[in-house]
Amino acid sequence: MAQLYTQGKCHGIHPFIVQIRSLEDHKPLPGVTLGDIGPKMALNVIDNGFLYVDHVRIPHNHLLMKHCQLQKDGTYIANENNKVFYGSMMYVRAVIILDTYHKLASAVTIAIRYSAVRRQTVLYPNKDEEQILNFQTQQYKLFTVLSKAFAFFFTGSSAIAAYKKVFSDNNEDKEQQFKSLHALLAGLKAISTWNTAEGIKICREACGGHGFSMSSGLPQLESLTCASCTYEGDNTVMLLQTGRYLLKCAQELSNGTKLQGTVAYLEEDFSMGHTQVGGNLHLPALLRLYQHSSQVNLMQVFQQFSKKLASGNSFEEVWNMMSVNIMKSAMAHCLIYTVKTFITGVNDIEQPELKLVLMDLCKLYCVHGIIENLSNFLLPGLLTEIQVSELNDAMFNLLTKIRPNAVTLVDAFAITDRKLNSTLGRYDGQVYSALYDYAMGSPLNKTKVHVSYHRHLQDFLKERQLKANLVSTCTTYSLLLFIRTLFSPTLSHSPVRIL
């Protein structure tokens, strides 16, 4: 992938086929310098490399021209739907969103299973120590992460389905839907990987010192997920791409253009308020609350952006001044999609008992998202203090309701012990025997006395013991001489014989 310049104009990034090594001896071709970039924080099994080319010529037909044409005189002709070229990149981002579900599900499975086994602190007289999963602090940490895992399952599945629909052969409005989907997937990639990285960190810390052990499987998950915050698009850049699209939508809305798809809510009238939002946790009302918050936030950012432009600042200057608020608007917009797909996914479940359990998780996800981003709802005056208090109480009630099903919910992910590869997340609950076996497998435990003792410490300690014995003998002699001198002054100059 490289920038294409012809006739003094840049046409953007395009794919090229470039031979970089000789077919005879595999050495880099003239003008080509390449190598490995060195160790990374994670993913070191992947051989990421660098490539530097200096005056390297390739044939004209080595530019892949499915979505453009380059004539031999340098004339560049773009197809009408040339932006569809980014389709594969968008698909990868959709897959990443679903992959965050797998990683977060693995982490929360480990943490919840371990928390059901681990006991600590007597809460009631004449009772055994309590499972730490019964503590509200542990439930708040892990059940909110559990709700996010299910949310990203529905979001990722919906994102892949949306991608397939946009790029289907019979889609007549492909280009317009492409823009909306591109912006959505960029933002969803950012919020899903950030939330997953934070969620895995919470799971690791919830397992105490054992969670820090490589045997728990959590450190590996954490480092891998941290990488996903950067590859296939840095998350900050992704959210800014989403924000740019949203600002264009706000501009179109101000010009009277009707909005469709994932941004249609921006033109809705939410003046009726959100009186249903409170302890009853009406899901449609919670969704409208998210939409109203995003709408107010985006329009405020758009108005500030327009005002700064009108005052004489350049677009680039205003963009830099407003970039943090633009990111926040993008995150609020993407959260709506996760809430909406979660609600839709739960409503589509046919089994009543299962539907009720997942409904509680869906409510927890919605309420926790409001509590986490409270300023987005309080500053515009969308919620009252009484409603916030009711939502907070309802959230803690949901933790109690979810507790009896917590282990069953993570078992439903059907992640095998082999795939989890964790001493703490074993299906049979034999955590401590697994920890012991793992520890005994350390090379340092192959012998009862480490070889370094014989090589370095043994002679040193013997020498020290000899010196210590000599010092002890001298001390005894001096003490005896002092005593005899004390009680027999006349013998102070007489030779002393030690008996």
Between 87-117 and 218-228, two packed helices, what is the crossing angle to 10 degrees?
A: 160
- Cα–Cα distance, 153 to 100 (Å, whole number): 8
Length of the chain: 499
Please tell me which residue in 130, 175, 198, 232 is annotated as part of the active site.
232
Contact 420, 113 (CB under 8 A): no
Of 365, 407, 404, give the one whose Cα is nearest residue 112: 407
Q: What b/e string do you get for 436-467 counting C-beta neighbours within 10 Å, with b at 16 or more?
A: eeeeeeeeeeeeeeeeeeeeeeeeeeeeeeee
353 is catalytic: no
- Cα–Cα distance, 113 to 207 (Å, whole number): 10
Contacting residues for 288 by C-beta, under 8 A, at least 6 apart: 270, 274
- Cα–Cα distance, 101 to 109 (Å, whole number): 12
- Cα–Cα distance, 113 to 423 (Å, whole number): 11
What single string gives the DSSP state of each residue in 343-374? HHHHHT---HHHHHHHHHHHHHHHHHHHHHTT
Contact 417, 427 (CB under 8 A): yes
Q: How many CB atoms lie within 10 A of CB 157?
A: 16
- Dihedrals phi, psi of 22, to nearest 5 degrees: -70, 140
Write out the catalytic residue numbers: 232
